[in-house]
């Protein structure tokens, strides 16, 4: 029995592209029956480059999928990735100043100035309220 189990594990290797059918969907991912007969899992984070709220938004039961084997642990559990077979999306990157951070420094200086002003106003209000209570008691 153990020899048979080991020979099944050897049929898939990390880096292989495999096909399989989605057998079970859980909140954290989908279990897939590979064409080799082995069971594997695609974690929700490996379904797509985009944010996936629900596994069902990307795969459905009995759907045939192609995926890349990304890990086989010491217990023989197979982890798959669908997103590794997809091209990375071109996402616009934030524009940076040629000065290399002037924008951040300006924002920080503005924040500190506003914070100092608010603290000063609070201290003034606290001083005024203490002063008016003291006068009223005389």
Q: What is the DSSP string of 8-67?
A: HHTT--TT-EEEEEEEEEETTEEEEEETTS-EEEEEGGGS-SS--S-GGGT--TT-EEEE
Report whether pLDDT(126) > 60: yes
Query: 45: Cβ–Cβ under 8 A, 6 or more apart, which residues?
Result: 52
d(CA 66, CA 34): 10
Average the pLDDT over each of 15-19, 34-38, 94-98, 103-107 and give the range with the smallest value. 94-98
Specify the length of the chain in residues: 138
pLDDT tens digits, 2-53? 444 444 444 899 999 999 999 999 999 999 999 999 999 999 999 999 999 9
pLDDT value, residue 101 = 60
């Amino acid at each position: 029995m153990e020899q048979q189990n080991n020979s099944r594990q050897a049929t898939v290797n990390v880096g292989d592209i495999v096909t399989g059918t989605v057998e079970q969907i859980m909140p954290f991912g989908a279990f897939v029956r590979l064409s080799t007969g082995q069971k594997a899992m695609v974690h929700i984070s490996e379904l797509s480059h985009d944010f996936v709220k629900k596994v069902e938004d990307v795969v459905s039961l009995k759907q045939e999928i192609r995926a890349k084997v990304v890990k086989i642990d010491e217990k023989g559990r197979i982890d798959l990735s669908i997103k590794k077979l997809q091209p990375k999306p071109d996402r616009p990157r934030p524009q940076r100043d040629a000065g290399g951070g002037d924008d951040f420094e300006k924002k920080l200086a503005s924040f500190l100035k506003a914070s100092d002003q608010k603290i000063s106003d609070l201290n003034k209000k606290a001083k005024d309220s203490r002063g008016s209570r003291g006068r009223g008691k005389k």
